[in-house]
Amino acid sequence: MRDADNELLGNQFVGTDHVFRLNRTRVEAFSGVAEDLFAHLVKGQVEQYRTDVHARRTSLPSIGWDENWGGPVSIRQDGSVLAIRLLSRSE
């Protein structure tokens, strides 16, 4: 499902986000895939997706803290991402 997009660790991703409570603290989790890879899948270009994923395998995975996102981000070798952050009471 594509209902959200975010730039994380300098890469653009599309996917979905979820807000939930963890010990009464509101947490947002975003999961998705690199925008350009997602475009291949939408068009049914599975071989192009595989080619592009294979070409990136040396630069991924990437794990780090994204200041703009406000939390940890994990990008896997297949171009998928998981990012988590705490939400303030006003969000």
pLDDT by residue (tens digit) across 29-67?
Answer: 999 999 999 999 999 999 999 999 999 887 777 899 999
**C-alpha to C-alpha distance for 33 and 74, rounded to whole angstroms:** 11
Strand order in the sheet with 80-86: 4-8, 11-22, 25-34, 80-86, 71-75, 62-66
Q: How many CB atoms lie within 10 A of CB 67?
A: 7
Model confidence pTM above 0.85: no
Tokens of 46: 């599975």
pLDDT at 71 over 60: yes
Is residue 89 pLDDT above 60, yes or no?
Answer: yes
Ordered by start, the domain boundaries in the chain are 4-86
